Amino acid sequence: MDNAGTLRQRAPWLMLGIVVLTASALPLAWHYLVSYPRENWQVDLEVYREGARAVVTGFPLYELRTTQPQFLPFTYPPFAAFTAFPLLIAPFSVMGWAWTVLQCALLWWMVGIAFRPFLRRFGHRAGLVQGVLAAGGVWLLPVSDGVRFGQVNAVIVALCLWDLTRRSRESGTWAGGSGVGVALATAVKLTPGVFWLHWAFTRRWKVLATSIGTAAGVTIVAWLLLPPASATYWTDALLNPERLGPNGGTSNQSLRGVLLRIGPDEESLAFTAINLLMIVAVLAAALPLARKFDRLGQPVAVVAVLGMMAYLISPVSWVHHMHWGVVVLGAILGSGRDWRRVAVVVAGAVLLWVRMPWWGANLLAGNDVPNFLARIVQNTYSWWAILALLALWLLVSREEPQPERQAAEPEPISSSTT
């Protein structure tokens, strides 16, 4: 059948999938964009917007605070403020809805990429299945919190996923990444820089040079346009993680956040040593695993591993930063023919759906269970990331490479070959 005929077959199912996603996302959007208290409305999107406004008006970027009662500072590199310029073209209330639609569209696209082997089983009906999966994904806590706060995580994950899964125009084969998407993501939010460690570890020097060069280029342009703000960020604001909020609170699910809650005093040598050992342990486990997936030609699994690595070793990883979990679930599920992988994905999705960290915080406050059990629940997302790496190793990395993974594959519905 020609492409036109295939498109005619797929189109009704594609539209039906979009309807399913819209029907699922609308109550969530209505809750956070209509019923939610105005003082808590899209507070992170307000930070991005006010950062762009500060650049336009000449206000010192790292002295700004959003309106009461949040008083949130701008915590991103100066380049991020330039990327937020489109947020100024319409009233804030309009941009909040537009940003939510963008997050849902990116979720749709990410599901199409991350769950491609599973979707392929449904032929021209894949659009409906893609919509059903995205409809469930929008209610995962990290994704729904992205809608709640107007967060940028969907854009960051999508840029990295696009970068590593795109294929060469000439050969149609996977080339291990272009470096550009990761570069832009890192220039906006530093944590995707862990992908550079992967490319160095796998000796993909051309991709690494392209990525670092692109990130450096846009950062230098931002410095030339905003010299004082750039100097403040790279010599002061970057070195103060407390600008991001209380690092020891439940929301910070990185290993450092866990250690702040249960470990020795932050200023002690023991804290520094334990934190460093945990980072080294994660790197020692994740980088070889990502390299193995690289060699197997499984870029989605590479992104999943590196996303979990970034989440664990970052000084601050909020709950909504676990947007990488969508990619992880897709990588583990694969084609969906292995019941063990299906069971792990269902369990993982349930854990991301319920508010486990906050349950743990409530258990601590109530003294109804032993303290150590409450702490385990409170630190669920750190455990989730560690167990995700374990599942990727045990269930996915031991597969033999399949010929079709090395050759050009048809793109999932709603994406295009780059």
Residue 388 reports pLDDT greater than 60: yes
Within-domain flag for 335: yes
Quick one: pLDDT at residue 275?
96
Quick one: pLDDT at residue 9?
86
> Do residues 267 and 216 both lie within one domain?
no
Q: What is the pLDDT of residues 19-52, one digit of tens each?
A: 999 999 999 999 999 998 888 899 999 999 999 9
Quick one: pLDDT at residue 172?
57
Looking at per-residue pLDDT, the higher value among 3 and 313 belongs to 313
Q: What is the pLDDT of residues 213-238, one digit of tens each?
A: 999 999 999 999 999 999 999 998 88
170: pLDDT confidence band, cut at 50, 70 and 90? low
Q: What angle do CA 10, 165, 131 make, to 5 degrees?
A: 35
User: What's the token pair of residue 82?
Assistant: 């330039």
Residue 402 reports pLDDT greater than 60: no
Amino acid at 339: W
User: What's the token pair of residue 214?
Assistant: 């692109």
Q: Based on the structure, what is the number of domains in the chain?
A: 2
Residue 400 reports pLDDT greater than 80: no
> Do residues 9 and 127 both lie within one domain?
yes
> Do residues 334 and 350 both lie within one domain?
yes
Residues in the chain: 418
Within-domain flag for 410: no
Look at residue 174 and give its three-state secondary structure.
Answer: strand
> Do residues 172 and 265 both lie within one domain?
no
Quick one: pLDDT at residue 169?
60
> Do residues 143 and 202 both lie within one domain?
yes
- Distance in angstroms between the alpha carbons of the first and the last residue of the chain: 23
> Do residues 387 and 253 both lie within one domain?
yes
Residue 406 reports pLDDT greater than 50: no
Q: What is the pLDDT of residues 82-132, one digit of tens each?
A: 999 999 999 999 999 999 999 999 999 999 999 999 999 999 999 999 999
Within-domain flag for 159: yes
Residue 416 reports pLDDT greater than 80: no
Quick one: pLDDT at residue 173?
64
Q: For residue 109, what is the enclosing H or E element?
A: helix 92-114
Within-domain flag for 265: yes
Looking at per-residue pLDDT, the higher value among 64 and 7 belongs to 64
Residue 407 reports pLDDT greater than 60: no
Residue 342 reports pLDDT greater than 90: yes
Q: What percent of the chain has pLDDT over 70?
A: 92
391: containing domain: 247-401
**Mean pLDDT value across residues 388-404:** 80
Any idea what DSSP says for residue 167? B
> Do residues 321 and 218 both lie within one domain?
no
Rg (CA), the chain: 21
Quick one: pLDDT at residue 323?
98
Torsion angle of the four alpha carbons 273, 275, 279, 280, in this order, in degrees rounded to the nearest 10:
10
Q: Cα–chain-centroid distance for residue 326?
A: 8
Quick one: pLDDT at residue 38?
84
> Do residues 199 and 77 both lie within one domain?
yes
> Do residues 276 and 170 both lie within one domain?
no
> Do residues 277 and 174 both lie within one domain?
no
Within-domain flag for 329: yes
> Do residues 136 and 233 both lie within one domain?
yes
Angstrom distance (rounded) from CA 271 to CA 277: 10
Look at residue 97 and give its three-state secondary structure.
Answer: helix
> Do residues 45 and 139 both lie within one domain?
yes
Quick one: pLDDT at residue 242?
78
Within-domain flag for 318: yes
Within-domain flag for 69: yes
Q: Which of 222, 239, 256 is the last residue of a domain?
A: 239
Within-domain flag for 211: yes
